[in-house]
Amino acid sequence: EDQVTQSPEALRLQEGESSSLNCSYTVSGLRGLFWYRQDPGKGPEFLFTLYSAGEEKEKERLKATLTKKESFLHITAPKPEDSATYLCAVPDSGNAGNMLTFGGGTRLMVKP
């Protein structure tokens, strides 16, 4: 059974204090890894897709990286508007459809 674990569960940062969020996964055959951002009362918003170990993608203050066992979301000089829950997900390895297994998320709070 595919498993996705995110750490830490919650993270408090001061504005400008860089940090990283972790997503570790156990799947029999990785077909991609997705990062989403979710604000309170809203649906998840797509951030990145990574397909193979060594791949990196960047968007503004965010950079996602992927290894064979985990992915990191690096946040550089965060701002209060980066406060949200960050979710990672992997496609189910047992079928070819769109079933995603999500981690529990990391709740990020950035204080000014």
Minimal distance, residue 45 CB to another protein, in Å: 7
Q: In angstroms, what is the minimal distance from the CB of 77 to another protein?
A: 27
Between 44 and 78, CB nearer to another protein: 44
Question: Rounded to the nearest whole angstrom, what is the least distance from the CB of residue 39 to another protein in the complex?
Answer: 10
The residue (of 1 and 14) whose beta carbon lies closer to another protein is 1
Contact positions toward another protein, by CB under 8 A?
31-32, 34, 36, 41-46, 49, 51, 87, 89, 91-92, 95-105
- Cα separation of 59 and 38, whole Å? 16
* Exposure b/e, 43-70, CB count within 10 A at least 16 = b: ebeebbebeeeebeeeeeebbbbbeeeb
Cis before 8? omega within 30 = yes
3-class SS of residue 87:
strand
**Nearest-approach distance from CB 17 to another protein, in angstroms:** 26
